[in-house]
Structure 1
Amino acid sequence: MKWTLAAALLPAQHLVDVARTAEESGYHSVALPDSVFYPEKVSAKYPYTKDGSRFWPPETEFVDPFVAIPAMAAVTSRLEFHTNVCKLPLRDPLLTAKQVASIAVLSDNRFAFGVGLSWIPEEFTFTRTDMRTRGARVDEAIEILKLVCAGNGPEWVEYHGTHYDFDRLMISPAPSAPVKILVGGHSEPALKRTARVADGWISVNTTPGAIIEACARLHELRAEYGRADEPFEIIAGPVGNVSRDDYRRLEEAGVTECQAAPWWQYGVDFRDKAALIESARRFAGEVIETY
């Protein structure tokens, strides 16, 4: 089992030191979320709370992962990074591919790209993108990202789809190893997309039981798509009082990496950098080193 330090909601000033601590303490990776803005009024319910309300205040810091990850990669040498998850349909795929390729090169291929759809109608309205076609556009965007970031360095690519269309072009720099595409979400369309085109899956923060059920469905779908024997990663975000037995069950279900946010587990105020760092080290000592 590998371990991710999930750096959601953390103050910008803490992120570089968090990366150093994660590498020193034996974490495999750091995950960064994506939030472009906080609409004052939202016409849809947040899907991951019982009452549909957002649990973070509007001033919560969400540093752009395309900015934060290069800064964190610059002070580390082994640590890997991924987005958890980037709201891909809000963005132009070629501009995104340019950013992803640049991060992969600057980090020496230590970057994986986790993608999702976004649940907020206002994000699509305010960025002048179409929520109705978000799934189909994500499918095409993933194909474009895989072309640009195939791992062959800069090369000529072209794409002719329903939503995106361009003739031969080259993006440079481009990575020397393929950038892994990870898909997030528990819905059936998300699981099918993962099984069909992705190099891995990222769960939402939920119970070990719900993650295990999703893993079983993923195994079925990957077999249906003829991909059961291909390399595949499952990054899980178990919540609650997660025991060592729970981690074992997740691993048996196919989970390759577990996320941890120790400051929540230990009741630490993550705005206190010293306490934040100590909680990350404590989890490493109590769980990672003894697992």
Structure 2
Amino acid sequence: MQYTCSVAMGPIDQLLEIARTAEEVGFDSIALPDSLFYMEKQSADYPYTPDGSRMWNEDTPWVDPLIAAGAMGAVTSTLRFYTNVMKLGSRNPLLLARQVGSVANLTGDRFGFGVGIGWAPEEFEWCGVPYAKRGKRVDEMIEVIKLVLGGGMVEFHGEFYDFDRLQMSPAPSAPVPFYVGGHTDVALKRAARVGDGWTSAMMTGEQLAETIGTINALRAEYGRVDQPFEFQAVCIDKFGVDGHRELAEAGVTDNIVIPWVFDGLGFDAPIEQKKDSLKRFADTYIHSGWQDR
């Protein structure tokens, strides 16, 4: 099982030092969250909290995850980065293809594209995109972005996007993996059908095991069960070596963690405390050899 450090909701001036330290102590990846803006009034419930409220406020810091990946990639050499997840529905696929391809090239193919739809109608409407038919539109967006990133002269004529022959150069030297987020039935089907992995929001170990089983059954239906596939998990109730072992046995391939939160620190803890948490976590889990036992 791999280990990824999430940098959600932390000060952006800490990102480069977190990346350097995470690589130094042995983390595999950094997970980069996405939020466009904070609307004062929300017209829809946030889907990943019991009461629909947001876990952040108007002053919570965010940075564009693609820009962050490029910056953090410049100060590291082996660490990978992926969006967790970028909300596609309010964006343009050709612009995203240009950005994703740039990050993949600048990081030496150390970038994975975690994608979702987006939950807030305001993010769609205020960016000039209708909220209606968002799922079908995102399906088409994924198809467009993959097509363009594949290189060469391409064209596309779909329901939502239509363009004649074009080429973006240079194409990434290796395919950019797409990790599909979401807990709904349609999201799980999307992950099984077109994804190189699935990424969760906060779930229990039992929920993760059930969802992994569902996705694997769907992958078999789509004839994709023999293809490589990642299960990236944010688990809220499996801790300690035994808990991590249970997650691995359930099929989790990538455990997304925030070590300083586990140590009782806040998202805005000082950078030296966060570095200590990264090192302590790595000693306990990454270098302890529990996976070899």
Q: For residue 13 of structure 1, what is the aligned residue in structure 2?
A: 13
Give the match for residue 194 of structure 1: 191
Please list every run of at least 4 consecutive aligned residues from structure 1 whose deviation after the TM superposition is greater than 3 angstroms: none
- Contact (CA 8 Å) 1:101, 1:148: kept in 2 or not? no
Distance in 1 separating the partners of 2:226 and 2:130: 36
Partners of 1:183 and 1:202 within 8 A in 2: yes
Q: What CA distance in whole angstroms lies between the structure 2 residues aligned with 1:25 and 1:60?
A: 27
RMSD: 1.1
2:2 is matched with 2
Match runs of 1:159-238 below 5 Å: 159-238=156-235
2:223, 2:250 → 1: CA distance?
Answer: 19
Contact 2:205 2:238 in 1 (8 A): no
Q: Secondary structure at the match of 1:5?
A: strand
Q: Match for residue 284 of structure 1?
A: 282
1:135 counterpart residue number: 135
Are 1:257 and 2:254 an aligned pair?
yes
- Residue-by-residue CA offset, 1:5-57 (whole Å, 9 max, x unaligned): 01111111000000001100100000101100000000111111121111212
Partner Cα separation in structure 2 for residue 241 and residue 171 of structure 1: 44
Question: After superposition, what is the alpha-carbon deviation per residue over 1:121-147, rounded to whole angstroms, capped at 9, x for unaligned?
Answer: 111121121111111111111111111
SS of match in other structure, 1:89? coil
1:110 corresponds to: 110
* CA distance in structure 1 between the partners assigned to 2:267 and 2:234 by the alignment: 18
> What's the CA shift for 1:159?
0.9
- The alpha carbon displacement at 1:254 in A equals 1.9
TM-score normalized by structure 1? 0.96
Unmatched runs of 5 consecutive residues or more in structure 2? none
Q: Which piece of structure 1 moves more, 270-279 or 19-28?
A: 270-279
Q: 1:49 — aligned with what?
A: 49
Alpha-carbon offset, residue 240 of structure 1: 3.5
C-alpha separation in 2, matches of 1:195 and 1:78: 28
Cα distance in 1 for residues equivalent to 2:15 and 2:128: 31
SS state at 2:169 partner: coil
- SS at the partner of 1:36? coil
Instruction: Write the distance in 2 (CA, Å) between the matches of 1:27 and 1:149.
Output: 27
| Deviation of 1:241 (Å) | 5.2
For 1:101 and 1:247, the matched residues in 2 are separated by 34
Unaligned runs of 5+ in 1: none
Q: Could you tell me whether the CA contact under 8 Å between 1:112 and 1:180 is conserved in 2?
A: yes
Amino acid corresponding to residue 158 of structure 1 in structure 2 = E
**Partner SS, residue 15 of structure 2:** helix
Q: Secondary structure at the match of 1:21?
A: helix
Percent of paired sites with the same residue: 51
Residues 19 and 72 in structure 1, CA contact (< 8 A), matched pair in contact too: yes
Residue aligning to 1:32 = 32
SS at match of 1:81: strand
Q: Which amino acid aligns with 1:109?
A: D
**Cα deviation 1:60-105 (Å, max 9, x = unaligned):** 1111011111000000000000000000111100000000000000
Report the secondary structure of 2:89's partner residue: helix
How far apart in 2 are the matches of 1:41 and 1:117?
20
Rounded to whole Å, the distance in 1 between the matches of 2:238 and 2:102 is: 39
Residue range with higher mean Cα deviation, 245-254 or 159-168: 245-254
- Work out whether residues 269 and 276 of structure 1, in 8 Å CA contact, stay in contact via their aligned partners in 2: no
**Offset of residue 244 of structure 1:** 2.2
Residue deviations 1:221-270, cap 9 Å, x none? Answer: 00011111111111111123523233222222221110010111111134
2:89 and 2:134 in contact (8 A); partners too:
yes
Question: What is the letter of the counterpart of residue 207 of structure 2?
Answer: A
